[in-house]
A = this chain, B = another copy of it.
Amino acid sequence: MTRYTATTADDLAEMLDAIGVDSIGELFERQVPPGVRLSRALALAPGMPEQDVFAHLRDLAARNVSADDEVSFLGAGMYDHYVPALIDMLMERSEFLTPYTPYQPEISQGGLQVMFEYQTAICELTALPVSNASVYEGPSAAAAAAYMAKLHNGRSRLVVSAAMHPHTIQTLRTYAHGYGMEVVEVPMRGTHAGLDAGTTELEAWRAAIDSDTSAAFFAQPNFYGAVEDADALSAAAKAAGAADPVRADGDDRAPLVVCQVDPITLGVLRAPGECGVDVAVGEGQPLGNRLDFGGPSLGLFAAREVYLRRMPGRIAGETVDVDGKRGFVLTLQTREQHIRRERATSNICTSQALNALGAVVYLAWLGREGIVELGELLLARTHYARRQLTAIDGVHALHERPVVREFALRLEADVATVRARCARAGVNPGVDIQALTGREQDRGGLLVAITERRTRADIDRLRDVLAAAVAAEREAVPA
């Protein structure tokens, strides 16, 4: 017996008796061939009392520098937003925490309604008419969109803006190999300042997209924090990718325009549904989910109506019960693996229901006005931060595009050493761009993210610390 099991000596005797075996061992001896039975104990540390496990995990936690321990400007996909306390409370309620997928709708109305509300919120946010109940996380959501595109139009090329998050591009490449699709990267305009630098190069985008292009991907804002001209990219993709010759039925095989969004920006930024986008995907972590060293979070997935029956993931739908009472069920399950098996629209099963609860509660908490106010605050602080930081000697804007909550700098100094210097002063100035992309053109790049938790005082502190670090570094290593 452990603290989680409950077989008393009497229980054991009665149970073995009922089964008709002499020992638990016999159950295994009669079922597991001797050749594959493990004849020794697992080589694992012995079990521990709860307090010791807690102490050990706390010791490990103490060896991490979390967003509580420094003034952090890290972003690039996951952001240190404030998660209101009521989300913890709700996510920890047994009723939400411990059931599984709502296969029995009569006793799962709570979870199903949460999905339905989540879908509604994501549709509103993206201005797209349909949403699933979430997928794993951001980059794989893009890969799921690629599969949907393949199922939809049968084309074989995926055109991807190089200004997307490198993890998204890498993930798309991994999956595309399985799909038998080719990934074509569209370069972006040189990132070293200039008005349109840092965004997808429209001409190259147009050129890359052809009548075998299944889907075209860009991010808004993109990895460098820059606001893309989404309308132009969408229109160009549709035009360039039209069937050749254009089909009589209006070319419903045209490439899907897939936009990777940062949901927190959608209070102020033109929504995907407002600029010709077919599918919006994105990392949902900013919506009420913790950083958790990268997961679990959730992947957003919304689309135009026509894609509904090819969407991946769970979808909750409204219906009535035998008494005519409103209720919710998992719907369109014929898309899914447990029904459709090898012809499913996705292999996803266990997904991120609890994280989606966090997201919808967060959106309700922010509310209709709040998401706009928050967006405006981020705009203002980001603008301020960018001005403050680019005023530092040896620090330049990597691009001058509009930004919402994150922007890229170029340092005239080694980024790694500058970051280490800042860290010693208790400030994490942001992400080393080149370390993440591996691109030569990104050398010197620093990606700075702003959230509502980073006050003006924090930004001023970053300015001072960064200025000192860059200066010290330039002094130490004369250019």
Interface residues of A (CB under 8 A from B): 50-51, 54, 82, 84-85, 89, 92-94, 452-453
Contacts and interface: CB of A to CB of B under 8 A. Distances in A.
A420 to B, nearest CB: 25
Given A54-B85, A89-B94, 7 more contacts: A50-B82, A50-B84, A51-B82, A51-B453, A54-B82, A93-B93, A93-B94
A207 to B, nearest CB: 46
A43 to B, nearest CB: 25
Copies per assembly: 2
Contacts of A51: 82, 452-453
A85 B49 CA distance: 12
A85 B53 CA distance: 12
13 contacts: A50-B82, A50-B84, A50-B85, A51-B82, A51-B452, A51-B453, A54-B82, A54-B85, A89-B92, A89-B94, A92-B92, A93-B93, A93-B94
Contacts of A452: 51
A409 to B, nearest CB: 26
A185 B19 CA distance: 67
A452 B52 CA distance: 10
Nearest to A97: B89
A202 B458 CA distance: 65
A55 to B, nearest CB: 8
Contacts of A94: 89, 93
A453 B51 CA distance: 7
A454 to B, nearest CB: 11
A426 to B, nearest CB: 14
Nearest to A95: B93
Contacts of A89: 92, 94
A451 to B, nearest CB: 10
Contacts of A92: 89, 92
A165 to B, nearest CB: 26
A94 B95 CA distance: 12
Nearest to A51: B82
Nearest to A3: B365
A82 B50 CA distance: 9
Contacts of A54: 82, 85
A291 to B, nearest CB: 15
A50 B365 CA distance: 11
Nearest to A451: B51
A68 B51 CA distance: 13
Contacts of A84: 50
Nearest to A82: B51
A68 to B, nearest CB: 8
A362 to B, nearest CB: 12
A126 B82 CA distance: 47
Nearest to A88: B92
Interchain residue pairs A-B with the least CB separation, the first 6: A51-B82, A50-B84, A51-B453, A51-B452, A89-B92, A50-B82
Nearest to A68: B58
A54 B84 CA distance: 10
Nearest to A62: B68
Nearest to A452: B51
Contacts of A85: 50, 54
A84 B92 CA distance: 16
Contacts of A93: 93-94
Contacts of A82: 50-51, 54
A54 B89 CA distance: 15
A245 B283 CA distance: 86
Contacts of A50: 82, 84-85
A247 B162 CA distance: 99
A30 to B, nearest CB: 34
A93 B82 CA distance: 22
A384 to B, nearest CB: 18
A453 B453 CA distance: 35
A85 B82 CA distance: 24
